């Protein structure tokens, strides 16, 4: 499906496919930098936003939502470094791919943002910092929806995923995990020049500001956000519809 999405189409075919897709999934293009003339399905699916379409929550004491979608399962990470997603406990180590890194998040918090077919599919940094480590982990491509989460054990840690670890001046490490799903062609990450992030650990040392684009889903999927325990205070955003850049959480002891 990923390869098919990259195939160039004629203007007439592209116009027809985009029109049908927008009607089927209630896609709103008004916030996009481009609203027509897409050269392929992938170009349409990964369409960027126009400048100013998503105001970014500023301030060192706040965390911004990393993507559009639906916020769910916002909660604390317990002493065994697990947190609960729709009644299922997930070990942070399995999500980020490193046991030592997982210990940072004890007492912190995790949340999930589910992206639907209608959503904007670029992912942005929720904080100011440096992308220090990117871990690309192999896995399956089960659908990340209510049915999949309910019936596939350990789904979010079983699927293909890319963990983007951002070191910050005051919050410690914040990790954004991009989880692939059924018909996800590939995942690209800022600072890594590859069509799909190669498996293994990468060290891009890429400085980012809150709201900087850090990754793109080429079809699919879901974001898991992990916040260190020493700084997390409370989630501000209520579970439900979410927009990239909106105020997601507050942290302690910062201006």
- Positions annotated as catalytic residues are 68, 124, 221
CB atoms within 10 A of CB 140: 12
Dump strand ranges (E) for 17-115: 62-64, 69-76, 82-85, 88-91, 109-114
Type and span of the H or E element at 189? strand 186-189
Contacts of 121 (CB under 8 A, 6+ apart): 45, 46, 67, 115, 216, 217, 218, 219, 220
Between CA 159 and CA 171 the distance in angstroms is 28
Contacts of 87 (CB under 8 A, 6+ apart): none
Q: Determine the number of helices (DSSP H) and then strands (DSSP E) in the chain.
A: 7, 17
């Amino acid at each position: 499906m990923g390869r098919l999405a990259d195939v160039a189409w004629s203007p007439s075919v592209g116009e027809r496919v985009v029109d049908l897709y927008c009607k089927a999934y209630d896609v709103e293009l008004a916030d996009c930098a481009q609203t027509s003339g897409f050269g392929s399905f992938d170009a349409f699916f990964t369409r960027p936003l126009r400048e100013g379409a998503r105001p970014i929550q500023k301030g060192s004491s706040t965390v911004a939502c990393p993507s559009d979608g639906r916020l769910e399962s916002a909660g604390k990470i317990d002493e065994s470094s697990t947190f609960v997603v729709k009644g299922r406990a997930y070990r942070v180590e399995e999500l980020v791919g490193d046991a030592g890194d997982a210990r940072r998040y004890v007492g912190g918090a995790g949340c999930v943002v589910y992206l639907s077919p209608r959503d904007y599919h670029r992912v942005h940094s929720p904080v100011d910092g440096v992308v220090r480590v990117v871990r690309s982990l192999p896995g399956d491509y089960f659908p990340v929806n209510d049915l999949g989460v309910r019936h596939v054990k350990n789904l979010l840690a079983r699927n293909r995923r890319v963990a983007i670890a951002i070191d910050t001046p005051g919050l410690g490490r914040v990790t954004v995990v991009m989880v692939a799903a059924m018909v996800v062609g590939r995942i690209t990450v800022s600072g890594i020049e590859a069509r799909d992030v190669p498996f293994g650990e990468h060290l891009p040392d890429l400085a980012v500001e809150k709201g900087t684009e850090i990754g793109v889903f080429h079809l699919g999927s879901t974001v898991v956000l992990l916040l260190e325990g020493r700084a997390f205070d409370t989630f501000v955003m209520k579970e439900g519809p979410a927009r990239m850049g909106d105020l997601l959480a507050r942290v302690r002891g910062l201006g």
